[in-house]
Chains A and B, each alone.
Chain A
Amino acid sequence: MELFKPEFGLVFWMFFVFVVLFAILAKYAWPFIIRNIDERAEFIDKGVAYSQEAKMQLDHATENAQALLADAHKQQMEILREAAQMKSQIVEEAKKAASEEAKKVMDAAAVSIEQARKESEQQFRNEVSAFALQIAEKLMRKELSNDKTQLEMIDKLLNDIETKN
């Protein structure tokens, strides 16, 4: 049957056409297309991997940032606590220093007051004794305005001296 009998002319032309088509396409078309399909697929894969990595890094970054934040918060608290402590300490020290100073000042004041008091007492005494001498002088002058009393006085003084010795 003719349907199942290969025809030489057709086989010849088919072989020719197919081989020529293959040669042309294999030289000028397929390498570019395949290379591009492969490269693009690789490019896309790489891009996806890269973005995944980036996303992971981003996730890590937020995590890191949170850790950092927490750390900073902790440090801040510590610093605040230290500061508070330091403040109270300083206040304490200042109080102590102030009280010492005050005491010193008070002491000094007391000493100077005492001195002033002594001085004024001395002065007062001197003045009093001066007054007393003046008064005594005046009294003496009045008393000793007659001879009799003068003699009595002398006697008395002499007696005193005698008893003393």
Chain B
Amino acid sequence: MKKLIICSIGILFFIVGTTFTVVASEEEEPFDAKEAIFEHLLDNYGWEVPFSHSTRIPLPVIIRDNEGSWHVFSSKKLEHGSNYNGFYIASEGDNKGKIESLDADGNKYRPLDISITKNVFALLIAALVVCICIFPLARFYRRNRFKAPRKGLGAIEYVIDMVYSDVIRPILGAEARRFAPYLLTLFFFILAINILGMIVVFPGGANLSGNISITLVLALCTFLVVNFMGTKHYWKDLFWPEVPMWMKCPVPIMPVIEVFGAITKPVALMIRLFANMLGGHLIVLVLISLIFIFGTMGAAVLAGTTVLSVLFSVFMNLLHFLICFIQAYVFTMLSALFISLARVKGEKEIKE
């Protein structure tokens, strides 16, 4: 109980503290809420360090220009609008915040950019965190059969068992073992990126699951698994469903609806995770920005908004923490459901 209280106080301080680092990092010039918020939500070439808005951890930039040659250099060389070998970070236009270059005719273009940005680096950290959580457990099991792990490993095993026994097995039944590796990887990876996104300082702080590229890939993976693992009945139901002939023969109404449904399923997955996580980050950022917006109206207003904003953002952060877990759970559950729907068996096979 005492440990629990200390822990929760620690978490509270941490959340309050990290929200204050956001506060502390905004110091100069008239405050532009929109820019500040989007700077925190979007990707960067460097990784901001707490308490200093200008110092960033440099990350490697990997780009290919339109002549086909590759350039690898540190993102430090592009800081503060400086130009390196003709590459610079666009400050306006369609490619704002991305690396741009000028071709031979002097036109702006975007080189092929596979830089290790803040988000990519955060992805690697998340993958590492997942490995650090899972591998000790696997090693434990390889050494002790029929034994239950204790303490930290026990907690991880509990989460795995919860996902496996409560979600995967009831939905997929006999095929649970076959699809469990994919679904469990999905769950733990989403959980890791969600929770790392909540930590504002260095190892976290990247808005990963609130980025459409990430959720796009996750949804695409589920889409690929669902369709590659689909049985012939799944494909038959997709293009030749058992409905009255007039609904599918001259004008393929039902097949169109079915195919559309097959595509909207992963899209819904993508949008759900993206919107939920983005929303959580956005609310906290807006609440903190309120302090600066009202800050110009005098000390009393500033104090009042600070207290209120911090209280609200702590509350929202706690809520967001719950959502982090729920979204990982929901994504896994729906993926399992879609896979099970694609593994339909014909009536004959069921009878057998």
Min CB gap B302→A, angstroms: 30
Q: Does B18 contact A (CB under 8 A)?
A: no
Residues on the A chain within 8 Å of B130, using CB? 21, 25
| Structural contact, B217 and A11, CB atoms closer than 8 A | yes
Name the one of A20, A34, A39 contacting B164, with C-beta atoms under 8 angstroms: A34
| Structural contact, B123 and A32, CB atoms closer than 8 A | no
| Structural contact, B114 and A12, CB atoms closer than 8 A | yes
| Structural contact, B141 and A33, CB atoms closer than 8 A | yes
Name the one of A10, A33, A34 contacting B213, with C-beta atoms under 8 angstroms: A10
B 154-194 to A, binary, CB cutoff 8 A, 1 in contact else 0: 00010011001100000000000100111011000100000
Count of A-B contacts judged by CB separation below 8 Å: 124
Q: CA separation between A151 and B29, bound complex, in Å? A: 210
| Structural contact, B180 and A13, CB atoms closer than 8 A | no
Residues on the B chain within 8 Å of A32, using CB? 138, 141-142
A22 to B, closest residue via Cβ: B185
A 51-63 to B, binary, CB cutoff 8 A, 1 in contact else 0: 0000000000000
Name the one of B97, B131, B221 contacting A25, with C-beta atoms under 8 angstroms: B131
A1 to B, closest residue via Cβ: B38
| Structural contact, A30 and B119, CB atoms closer than 8 A | no
Chain B's interface size range is 35 or more
| Structural contact, A37 and B181, CB atoms closer than 8 A | no
| Structural contact, A17 and B164, CB atoms closer than 8 A | no
| Structural contact, A34 and B112, CB atoms closer than 8 A | no
Q: Does B16 contact A (CB under 8 A)?
A: no
Q: CA separation between A25 and B132, bound complex, in Å? A: 11
Interface residues of B, dominant DSSP? helix
Residues on the B chain within 8 Å of A4, using CB? 212
Name the one of A2, A13, A18, A35 contacting B189, with C-beta atoms under 8 angstroms: A18
| Structural contact, B216 and A2, CB atoms closer than 8 A | no
| Structural contact, B134 and A14, CB atoms closer than 8 A | no
| Structural contact, B185 and A9, CB atoms closer than 8 A | no
| Structural contact, B160 and A17, CB atoms closer than 8 A | no
Min CB gap B9→A, angstroms: 34
B147 to A, closest residue via Cβ: A40
| Contact (A3, B138) CB under 8 Å given A10-B43, A21-B185 | no
B192 to A, closest residue via Cβ: A21
- Most B-side CB within 10 Å, residue of A19, A20, A22, A34: A34
| Structural contact, A2 and B160, CB atoms closer than 8 A | no
| Structural contact, B213 and A7, CB atoms closer than 8 A | yes
| Contact (A30, B185) CB under 8 Å given A4-B212, A9-B117 | yes
Q: CA separation between A2 and B278, bound complex, in Å? A: 13
| Structural contact, A36 and B141, CB atoms closer than 8 A | yes
Q: CA separation between A35 and B138, bound complex, in Å? A: 10
| Contact (A3, B160) CB under 8 Å given A22-B181, A22-B185, A30-B184 | no
Residues on the A chain within 8 Å of B137, using CB? 29, 33
Name the one of B184, B218, B278 contacting A3, with C-beta atoms under 8 angstroms: B278
Residues on the B chain within 8 Å of A38, using CB? 177
Q: Does B115 contact A (CB under 8 A)?
A: yes
| Contact (A21, B127) CB under 8 Å given A13-B120, A30-B181, A37-B157 | yes
Min CB gap A16→B, angstroms: 9
| Structural contact, A24 and B131, CB atoms closer than 8 A | yes
Min CB gap B66→A, angstroms: 15
Q: Does B229 contact A (CB under 8 A)?
A: no
Residues on the A chain within 8 Å of B41, using CB? 3
| Contact (A34, B177) CB under 8 Å given A3-B42, A14-B214 | yes
Residues on the B chain within 8 Å of A36, using CB? 141, 145-146
Min CB gap B317→A, angstroms: 21
B 97-139 to A, binary, CB cutoff 8 A, 1 in contact else 0: 1000000000000001111110110011001001100110110
Min CB gap B285→A, angstroms: 13
Name the one of B127, B135, B157 contacting A17, with C-beta atoms under 8 angstroms: B127
B112 to A, closest residue via Cβ: A8
Given contacts A10-B211, A21-B189, A29-B137, 9 further A-B contacts (CB under 8 A): A9-B113, A10-B120, A13-B114, A13-B116, A21-B131, A33-B160, A37-B161, A40-B148, A43-B146
Query: Using a CB–CB distance below 8 Å, which chain B residues touch chain A?
Result: 38, 41-43, 96-97, 112-117, 119-120, 123-124, 127, 130-131, 134-135, 137-138, 141-142, 145-146, 148, 157, 160-161, 164-165, 177, 180-182, 184-185, 189, 211-214, 216-218, 220-221, 278
Q: Pull 16 A–B residue pairs with CB atoms less than 8 Å apart, ordered by A.
A: A6-B216, A11-B217, A17-B123, A17-B124, A19-B221, A21-B185, A21-B189, A22-B182, A25-B181, A30-B138, A33-B134, A33-B137, A33-B157, A34-B177, A34-B180, A36-B141
Query: Using a CB–CB distance below 8 Å, which chain A residues touch chain B?
Result: 2-15, 17-22, 24-26, 28-41, 43
